[in-house]
Structure 1
Amino acid sequence: MNNSNYLPKDEFAELIFERIKAFGLRCMPLCDNLFTKTVSARNIAKQLIRSSSSSVANYRAVRRARSKNEFYAKISIVIEELDESLFWLEYAVDAKFYEDQRVRSLINEGYEILKILAKARKTVSVNSK
């Protein structure tokens, strides 16, 4: 996604927010489907819905950070929650609750967002020194 080089900061932040929100929304039906299955499937569903929705809500907070330190702390939470969401998606595939091809595009999108956020965090960290 090289468009970030050409977008104003606010537009880029909005684009990332929309991508994270879409990621969270795409997790919802997967969670709903898992919730009707076994106890272990329900556990994965609960963990996935919590972490994916948390990454969306926390990214919203990132956009309202009042300092570089606050931005760094909040974006670190988003990265952690998004990474956890990816773990639960991959774990659901490993447990054979989903076929890999059914969730592969969602997992790929999650990793793309994760890379962008990690780079933003690193940039703030490097610029703060």
Structure 2
Amino acid sequence: MDSAELKRRAQKFAAEIIKFTETLPSGRALNVLCTQLIRCSTSVGANYRSACKGKSTADFINKIVICEEEADESIYWLDLMEESGLVKPELLIKYKQEAKELTAIFTAIGKTTKQNQKDKK
């Protein structure tokens, strides 16, 4: 997967999360969970775009780690929606799967970049 495709995928994930949260009922707790989920899911793509413009390898790695953390945080909020019983598990499956895949992708990118940097020294 090239960087343009990953940018599109991360943006699509954020857009789908935004649309999904708009379909959910309003309530104090669910509103908070949705806000947190929107923040971290949109941060994945924003930080990846920033990483691609990184000023150095260290800057790139830093931002990739943030992408990984934000994708993983998305899983947390989705899990909490399920565990709290506020959202039916079957509605969350595809979003959890995509968040897990994005987490794995950014983890792999970070590890590879760190190893490549180490090998150059």
| 5+ long unaligned stretches in structure 1 | 5-11
The answer to whether 1:33 aligns with 2:23 is yes
**What is the distance in 2 between the residues matched to 1:92 and 1:14?**
31
Q: In the alignment, what sits opposite 1:93?
A: 82
**What is the distance in 2 between the residues matched to 1:81 and 1:29?**
18
Residue identity matched to 2:22: D
Structure 1 residue 31: Cα displacement: 2.2
Deviates most, 92-101 or 114-123: 92-101
Share of identical aligned residues, percent? 27
Structure 1 residue 66: Cα displacement: 2.2
Residues 72-87 of structure 1 aligned to structure 2 (within 5 Å): 72-87=61-76
Q: TM-score, normalised by structure 1?
A: 0.85
Q: TM-score, normalised by structure 2?
A: 0.90
* Structure 1 segments of 4+ aligned residues over 3 angstroms from their partners: none
> RMSD of aligned C-alpha atoms?
1.3
Residues 1-129 of structure 1 aligned to structure 2 (within 5 Å): 4=1, 12-34=2-24, 36-129=25-118
**What is the distance in 1 between the residues matched to 2:86 and 2:18?**
15
